[in-house]
Amino acid sequence: MNILFVCTANRYRSRTAMEFFRMKYTHMHSEWKFDSCGTNPVYVEETKKWFPDASVLTDQLMWWADVIVCMEESHKVRVDQLISRMPADKPVKVKVLGFGDDFIYMSTDLIRMLNDLKDSLWKGTV
């Protein structure tokens, strides 16, 4: 299962979620893959100063993902725009966490919130 985390800049929230869930699940589910991206190309480019592998949401990432976890409703709007261009035979589950842009990278509060959610994010997808 491929799980994609989406925020604005791929700097704090989505990157933290990706790394947290990689650490939490990869040893138990080697077939699970995690990635992250941002919806705003300008902010993602800025993020590359600190994280050279930062990426913007693309059709290719959408095709890769089985589950897309958006940090905010505004990210889901962008995801929905890309999903509308995909064939119906590529089902993608989209979830919105409602986590505002109030966190820094690897914030203990953000990690606690992610840990509280963990299994509910992909319930019914495996």
The reply to whether the predicted model has a pTM over 0.85 is yes
Answer whether residue 125 is part of any domain. Answer: no
Answer whether residue 104 is part of any domain. Answer: yes
Nearest of 36, 16, 30 to residue 114 by alpha carbon: 16
Whether the CB-CB separation of 47 and 73 falls below 8 Å is answered with: no
Kind of pairing between the strands at 33-38 and 93-96:
unpaired
The share of the chain scoring above pLDDT 90, in percent, equals 74
Q: What is the pLDDT of residue 123?
A: 67
Q: What's the CATH code of the domain at 104?
A: 3.40.50.2300
Answer whether residue 126 is part of any domain. Answer: no
Mean pLDDT for the stretch of residues 17-39: 91
Answer whether residue 15 is part of any domain. Answer: yes
Mean pLDDT for the stretch of residues 25-45: 92
Nearest of 64, 67, 66, 94 to residue 79 by alpha carbon: 94
- Residues 10-19: pLDDT tens digits? 999 999 999 9
Q: What is the pLDDT of residue 85?
A: 83
- Residues 98-122: pLDDT tens digits? 999 999 999 999 999 999 886 677 6
Number of other CB atoms surrounding residue 83 within 10 Å? 15
Answer whether residue 75 is part of any domain. Answer: yes
Backbone angles phi, psi at 35, to 5 degrees: -145, 170
Q: Is the pLDDT of residue 4 over 70?
A: yes
| Amino acid present at 67 | V
Nearest of 2, 106, 10 to residue 57 by alpha carbon: 10
Q: Is the pLDDT of residue 126 over 60?
A: no
